[in-house]
Amino acid sequence: MTYYGVKAVVQKGQRIDSATERQPPVYSDDVLVAIINNGLWAVAPDVTDAREYSHFYGSYAQGYWLNFDLYNLPKKEIPNCPDEGRVPLEELKKLQGRK
C-alpha cells in the first residue's frame, strides 16, 4: 500500500467528491488518492487499484473511517507528496477550508 502526504495531496491534487461504492475513472496521467479520517487524524492512501479502493471503501462503509474524500493527483506530483504519516483532523479541515 502506498500513502502520500495529506497536506500535499490537498494542495496539489484536484478534489473529485466524496467516495461512492463505485470507483470513479482514473486517467492515465493521474493517481486516485483517498483522504480518509477517523475523527482524530487523516491519511492519504493511493486507491488507484480497484482492489485497494474496494478495501478502503469497505472499511469506510463499516464505520472505521468517518470521511472518504477523493482526489486526482497528477503522477508528476508524486515526488512532491511524500507520506507524512497521520495528520491531525484540525489541520486537514484548515487546508480544506472546513470548520
Tell me: the pLDDT tens digits for 31-73?
Answer: 999 999 999 999 999 999 999 999 999 999 999 999 999 999 9
Domain that holds residue 88: 3-96
**Whole-angstrom distance, CA of residue 31 vs CA of residue 27:** 8
Count how many domains the chain has. 1
Q: Cβ contacts of residue 34 below 8 Å, gap of 6+?
A: 19, 44, 45, 47, 53, 56, 68, 69, 70, 71
**Whole-angstrom distance, CA of residue 72 vs CA of residue 31:** 6
This prediction has a pTM of 0.93
**Residue for cell digits 500535499?**
8
The average confidence (pLDDT) of the chain is: 94
